[in-house]
Each structure stands twice: as C-alpha cells, then as structure tokens.
Structure 1
Amino acid sequence: MSRSILVAISVGLLVGACQTGPSVELPIRCSFDDAPEAGLPSGWRTAETNGRGMPGAWAVRAESGGRIVRLVETENAEDTFNLLLTDDVFPSDLTVSVRVRADAGNEDQGGGVLWRAGGANDYYVARWNPLEDNVRAYHVVGGRRTLIANADVEADRRAWHELTVSARGSTTEVGFDGTTVMRFEDDTLRGPGRIGLWTKADAETSFDELRVDRSR
C-alpha cells in the first residue's frame, strides 16, 4: 500500500472520530488536531450531572505537538460532574482509551472516560484522581453515583496518563498506563450509549488521543 493511501486512511480516522456522523464505524481515533481552537469538536456536546446552573466551559486548546480538549473553567463543587458527550451512540461492547492530564483543582483533580451513557444522568465512568492516588469505576443512575471498584495508583500529577476501558457484557477491565488495575462484574447498564469525558467538581483537566475500538 502506498504512503499516500496510508496517510489518507489515517486522516479519515481522525476526522471520523472528532466529527461524528449518523453512524459509527470502529475503530476510530481522535487527536482533536482538526478541531477549531477555542470551540468544541464537532459531534460533541457539553452536559452536567447534578448541575447547579453553572456549567463548566470545555474548549479545544493548542499545545506543542497538537491540539487537546480541556475543561478550561468550572465553578462547580461537590457532586456536580462535568461531561463532554458524543452525539453518536456506540455499541455496548467496546474498548475506549484516552490520555488524561490533571491541570488544576482544589476540591478534586483528574478525570476519566464514560461509556454506555443514556444521557447526563445514566452512565458508567472510570476516573483517575491524583489527589486520592487511585483509579475508581462507578455507575451513575438517575444522577446517583455508586462505587463499583477501586485501585490504588500513584502517578505524576502533572504528566499525561492513559486510561483504558474494555467492556464486554457485564465484564469490564480498566487499565492505567498500559497495566490492568481492575476487573469487575456489573450489569446495571446493558445497552449501547454515548461515550464521553468526565471531571468532578472543580477539576480542570485535559484530554487527548481518544480511541474507540471493538471490545478486546
């Protein structure tokens, strides 16, 4: 295969992920490099769980080496969760990974990836919190968050880290920087749904290199 064809395929995968359409063909990869700076990537929407009328601001930002998407400002606290959701619905069985960097936050820091979202109040989420030195998985139903699994993880608070979720049926594995840190069974949410990015309270967080594939 020629180099030009390979480049064309790679570009198509990036655009397909950042600018979602009526159907989803896996795998997709999104570096956000094609998204307009200061705006939202096409095919994504902001949302909140347990919002109090002060939604956080998400935006694409330029950094050395490319563009990222970041929660750039939030005045939220306590049990309000800041979400960036895809418009498209993804299969229930999938593998999704994203690079995460904790930028700021007094009450909370870090963030994670969500899947099988029926909306802003119903989804699974796996998140990394550098203040607590852990990775945790929850299900959120009707806006109420319930802990499923916890793993103690010590990592550089200002570095990029990769969070990976592989879900098949009621079984889910969560990885951090290439190492599986938890495996759990939970069938609270079974169907397809949106995927997205997640932070809690005042956590301002950057995300990059989102990848979605069929479940491993």
Structure 2
Amino acid sequence: MLGLLGFFALNEGDQTVANAAELKLPEGSTVQWFDFEQRGIEGWKTVDGKWTVEEIPGAPSRKKVLVQRAVENQFNVIVAPGGPYTDVDVSVRFKPISGREDASGGIVFRFSEGRYYVVRANALENNFRLYYYDRGRHQLATATVQPPVLGQWHTLRVIAVADLIQAYLDGKLLLNHRDSRFRSGQIGLWTKSDSITAFDDLEIKSNKPQ
C-alpha cells in the first residue's frame, strides 16, 4: 500500500518507506501538550505571521484552536515554548481553511537561530514534503499523496531521532530521510503565503532538553 503512495527518493539520504520501522524515542521521554483551551500562546515566539487563539466549530479538543491569518508573508512560523530538543516525536491536528496560492500546514522542528526543518502538507498540491530552511527553503524529500481536504481536520506527525527523520500524514508513513545538518532546536508550526490554517492538539514527545 505504501508503495502506491509514490515516494520519490531525492538523494542518498532517502530510505525506502515500505521497509521502514517506526522510530521510537528512548524510555523516559517527556510529553508536552497544547490544546489552547486553558492557556493561549503566552511564551510562544512569533517569527512571522498573525497567530491567534480562536473558537471555531468542530475543533478536535473542545472549542479553541490556534489560527494563522496573515496572507502577505512568504512563510509564517510560530515557535512553542520548551527545548531545545534533539530527538522528538511531534504530532498536530491541522485544518487548511483557505488559500488561493497555498493552503498548507506544517511542523517546524530543530528550530535554532532562524534555521529549521519543516514537514508540510498542502491542500492545493498532491505532494507531502520535507524542507530545511537556512536563508531560504531547500527541498529534501517528497511523496505523492491525496491532498488534504480544505475545511477538514488532518494529522501531521514527525519523528526525528539522530539524523533519521520520519514524516506521517493522517497516520501513514510517507517520508523516511536522513539529514544531519541540524542537530537540535525547538518545535513550531508553519504555513506559507496566503494559507489560513487552524492547528490544535500539538503534542511534543522528547528526550531531555539539550
């Protein structure tokens, strides 16, 4: 089944998805949970974008979610409190609400001094991609997928242990890639261009902060 999803290896760092076992964090990992109900985004760092906690119908956890509403930026990033971390298992629910140029949502990880990895899905494109950002965005790996549906909730997940990165969309492992340029950093959320996107239930499992 996974082979039919059209994983494309881009360089020697890519590994075969069909034969990949799910990465596991070491015993004793800590867990952080953000559902935006009792606390807003106090302690979060807005790198770019207009990020607000709002009540919307059909939120996965009760009523409140985090929404990114800026439409004029190239990328919109907000960084969660905590970290830096080396090994992480991160998941988030996201709903692409609207966007004419882009309708995406992503998980930022190993964010440090403006450099980071991001895994993103886009409701306007049939691809699921891993990038790194360092004074510009650079693609590392991609898979062909059924695009996320506008107005519906989906789940992103990233597991990063040492130099191996696995990325999931709606529970399916789609990317299995090795890259060692960034070793540790914080966790965040991401959109592109005019994407208006809601996020909820961010869960960060991690080893002890470095």
Deviation readout 1:141-183 (Å, 9 max, x if unpaired): 1x21110111112132221100000000110100111110110
Pick from 108, 112, 115 the counterpart of residue 114 of structure 1.
108
- Is contact 2:128-2:143 (8 Å) kept? yes
- Is contact 2:69-2:195 (8 Å) kept? no
- Is contact 2:156-2:169 (8 Å) kept? yes
Match of 2:66 in 1: 69
AA aligned opposite 2:42: S
Match of 2:10 in 1: none
Residue 89 of structure 1: SS of its match in structure 2?
A: coil
Distance across 2 between alignment mates of 1:206 and 1:176: 16
Distance across 1 between alignment mates of 2:172 and 2:182: 25
Deviation readout 1:31-84 (Å, 9 max, x if unpaired): 111135xxxx11102113xxxxxxx311000123320000123322xxx21111
The Cα shift of 1:91 comes to 1.4
Distance across 1 between alignment mates of 2:101 and 2:126: 14
Q: Which aligned runs of 4 or more in structure 1 are off by greater than 3 angstroms?
A: none
- Is contact 2:96-2:149 (8 Å) kept? no
- Is contact 2:98-2:150 (8 Å) kept? no
Q: Which has a greater percent of helix?
A: 1
- Is contact 1:108-1:200 (8 Å) kept? yes
Answering whether residue 167 of structure 2 is matched by residue 174 of structure 1, we say yes
Q: Which runs of 5+ in 2 are unaligned?
A: 1-28
Distance across 1 between alignment mates of 2:186 and 2:43: 11
Residue 132 of structure 1: SS of its match in structure 2?
A: coil
Match of 1:134 in 2: 127
- Is contact 2:87-2:162 (8 Å) kept? yes
The Cα shift of 1:212 comes to 0.8
Match of 2:42 in 1: 42
AA aligned opposite 2:47: A
Answering whether residue 34 of structure 2 is matched by residue 30 of structure 1, we say yes
- Is contact 1:94-1:166 (8 Å) kept? yes
AA aligned opposite 1:66: K
User: Aligned pairs, how many?
Assistant: 174
Q: Which runs of 5+ in 1 are unaligned?
A: 1-24, 49-55
Distance across 1 between alignment mates of 2:156 and 2:125: 16
Residue 180 of structure 2: SS of its match in structure 1?
A: coil
Match of 1:151 in 2: 143
Answering whether residue 181 of structure 2 is matched by residue 188 of structure 1, we say yes
- Is contact 1:103-1:110 (8 Å) kept? no
TM-score (norm 1): 0.76
Residue 27 of structure 1: SS of its match in structure 2?
A: strand
The Cα shift of 1:89 comes to 2.1
Q: Between the two proteins, what is the percent identity of the paired residues?
A: 33
